[in-house]
Amino acid sequence: MPVLHQMQMSGNCYKVRLAAHQLGIPLTLKEYPLLAGDTRKPEFLAKNPNGCVPLLGLEDGRCLPESGAILWHLSEGTKLQPSDAWTRAQMLSWMFFEQYSHEPYIAVARF
């Protein structure tokens, strides 16, 4: 089963849990307490040199950071990702907007 390295209070991690739940994809959750510093330890940095969660660990050992990339990977070929090229580009447009214009201002302020 894939492992989601995550923080329960993180909106970026919530997006991944929500999509996986809607798709019926079971995930093992590995929690990284905010102030514990575990995302700065060599074991974690070997998986994601950027030192951030969410990080999706696949059963074959591959690791995928960045919530948008994880959402894209999980939703590939499912009802959550359109098949039409234009609509897929619109989906990406909203995902880039969320990361560049929403997350740093609204989500971080809320946090």
Ligand X SMILES: N[C@@H](CCC(=O)N[C@@H](CS)C(=O)NCC(=O)O)C(=O)O
Q: Which residues sit at the interface with ligand X, rule CB under 6 A?
A: 7, 10, 12, 39, 51-54, 66-68, 99
Residue nearer to ligand X on the CB measure, 9 or 89: 9
**Strand 3-6, strand 63-65: pairing:** unpaired
For the chain, the straight-line distance linking the first and the last C-alpha, in angstroms and rounded, comes to 30
Shortest Å, Cβ 62 to ligand X: 16
Residue nearer to ligand X on the CB measure, 85 or 91: 91
Tell me how far apart the 2 most distant CA atoms of the chain are, in Å.
43
Shortest Å, Cβ 57 to ligand X: 14
The dihedral region occupied by 70, where left means phi > 0, alpha psi between -120 and 50, and beta the remainder, is: alpha
Shortest Å, Cβ 84 to ligand X: 25
